[in-house]
Structure 1
């Protein structure tokens, strides 16, 4: 019998006694048993995820266009390597230098959060208008926070790999090979960011079939390589109409994605999904809520689901502020107050 797409055998059958013995040996060596955990770098999110992202997990990250899916994904990768781990980014959506501009500004803001450091636009302008023959050190040294950001990036540069992926040629097997090579080169399995899953080329007749095969394949990769795979997903066009809150069911290929994913995290603009009473009687809340995003954990196999967390945006520097909390206001699915 042929093996279903994306589900390859990962090892022989083992009796429970052997598994118990193996776990005992691991613990006696002073090594934690069970899954390896990658902190997200967001304490409130780590708490709900009971520590962070786990090896073997497929994490689905969705949201409307422009709400920070790539921003959050890159911040997860940056936080992983800043904590001493490794990460690999397969970007089907953005050119590598665009991601570098975000990383430079993000790192500057992380290192000196209370100062007016260079934003993403400042970094882009400086790189695009640099004098011929000028070094990167010189260009960034002229920007506030640029020199320290460059030093930090250089410090973990070998542990963060960026792959300019193609929706024509960068297949699941190439992603699998890239993860294997990063693991071999660094000696530790990486957090994997995929931006975005619907662009992965899969030989199937329809989009639902392609997404299903890709989701199954990346779940299998997460298990076999012992890594968390964070897969960004886009929504169906019909779900992007004004006044609607994006949910997991609105993602393209939602049924297959929801089945395979261990964690489903949906990002929405807070002002779009708070209940009418929080806006109608205090118009100042409209501008205040625009500065926040809501992270909705719609599925969470290793913790509590249905949790709504809010984090302040800092899109000027390509990031979210890392300190967040549970949303105290009532949220809705359809906006009844249009600002």
Structure 2
């Protein structure tokens, strides 16, 4: 039984006539010829397979079939005579087997230094725009999965848009896929915060006498947004009415590759939000979410070296108590998906700071209620809580002022749990 080599169709076409004289020393196939039945036969016969140009999807298929296979990394001289092509395949096969016998020695001596040097040549960090949080993450979001959780209308999308705009202004590409709001709605929120026209006026389109579109194009702030932010920020609606229109992980990965080809670096991918994303698995909600989380980490984070900010809905709960709970208790808020807890590189929560907690921390009261803050242009307090941080210390809780109307954030201070439960608060309260 000959050694099985999987090659592109043009190479197979060139070497096939020569194979007849090789007494079954070589078996050359293209990927489409490796049917499930053929893969099962290879596994039963314990035959190794050497693959030239193995894509990630085909590699996963071979892994799933349980076949012993090796990737031929070096290129072939496709213009060489058939005999020479087969010799090249055989030499590459022997080299890759020898490499496996050496463990990771070649990786440490040759590949890893090149990889690290390449990372130094590009900016792999995408800041969120809250300096203390970015510092805790080592500079911002790096390739891999990062999750931002919060209740409905709790500020997740606003913070994600803030991060998207900040990075786009720094000429770092951003891919924002929305599964809930429309592309127009998200751009409307950005435009309103920068141009000064209310969201409601933009949604209505103005009046017949004064259409908003004409008003916008005459504003310098709008033209600045179009020239400075829009070239680097692309927003897609991911919840198409048909399966072909929906943005699953594979389609996002394809767009990432297009963006990288254009800008020379992978974009920051923002997904809003997890529970609305399509899944390839026909299972209950929890297992579908786990499948999506795992696919994002593997196919986008690792294979495409892409930073992902995944928004996730969590139950509202008692946020006043959440602020003072242990780190493990706060992380459990992501209970809909154990995949988040174990798979994500970092996990953050965003929730409002209660008036009672603000008083305990000695902070001035917010000027308006939560419901009226956006309409009046006032600010309100939020807590941004770093509950998981694989590359550093978790547990950072930041009090942030948020102006919804202008989409502005200002870090007030980190939370000191002693201020909420310790003697300092009791003494301060007694003095009032």
| Shift of residue 106, structure 1, vs aligned partner | 3.4
Alignment match of 1:71 (pick from 154, 158, 175): 158
* Residue matched to 1:164: 237
How many Å separate the matches in 1 of 2:305 and 2:72?
A: 13
2:108 is matched with 19
* Equivalent pair of 2:179/2:237 in contact (CA under 8 Å): yes
Partner of 2:285: 207
CA distance in structure 2 between the aligned counterparts of 1:69 and 1:172, rounded to whole angstroms: 21
Q: Distance in 2 between matches of 1:270 and 1:224?
A: 38
- Listed one character per residue, the Cα deviations across residues 153-208 of structure 1 (whole Å, up to 9, x for unaligned) are 32332221111111753222112222222222333210000001111111221001
- Label 1:289 to 1:331 Cα distance change in 2 as closer, same or farther (>3 A): farther
Q: Which moved more, 1:179-188 or 1:255-264?
A: 179-188
- 2:404 counterpart (302, 315, 339): 315
Structure 1 SS opposite 2:159: helix
- Structure with higher RCO (Cα < 8 A, 6+ apart): 1
| 1:216 aligns to 2:294 (yes or no) | yes
Work out which of the residue numbers 60, 72, 91 in structure 1 matches 2:147: 60
| Largest Rg, 1 or 2 | 2
Aligned counterpart in structure 1 of residue 261 of structure 2, from 163, 184, 199: 184
Deviation, 1:41, is 2.2
**Superposition deviation, residue 3 in structure 1:** 4.2
Change (3 A) 1:324 1:121: farther
Root-mean-square deviation over aligned CA pairs: 3.5
Ranges in structure 1 where 5+ consecutive residues have no aligned partner: 109-116, 333-339
Would you identify which runs of 4 or more consecutive aligned residues in structure 1 move more than 3 Å?
A: 1-4, 9-14, 16-29, 117-125, 130-136, 239-248, 282-290, 328-332
Residue aligned with 1:225, SS: coil
Shift of the alpha carbon at 1:302? 1.2
Q: Which residue of 2 aligns with 1:255?
A: 338
Question: 1:321 aligns to what SS in structure 2?
Answer: strand
Larger helix percent: 2
Paired position in structure 2 for 1:150: 223
Any idea what SS the aligned residue of 2:135 has?
helix
CA contact (8 A) 1:234 1:252 kept: no
| Cα shift at 1:328 | 4.4
1:139 matched to which residue of 2? Answer: 215
1:292 aligned to 375, 381, 398, which one? 381
Provide the rounded CA distance (Å) in 1 between the counterparts of 2:282 and 2:420: 38
Secondary structure in structure 2 of the residue aligned to 1:59: strand
Give the corresponding residue for 1:264. 347
Q: 1:231 aligns with which of 310, 335, 338?
A: 310
Alignment of 1:269-288 (within 5 A): 269-271=352-354, 274=357, 278=360, 285=365
* Segment of structure 1 superposing worse, 69-78 or 158-167: 158-167
- The verdict on how the C-alpha distance between 1:269 and 1:255 changes in structure 2, with shifts beyond 3 A counting, is same
- What is the CA distance between 1:262 and its match in structure 2? 0.7
Q: Report SS of the residue matched to 1:292.
A: strand
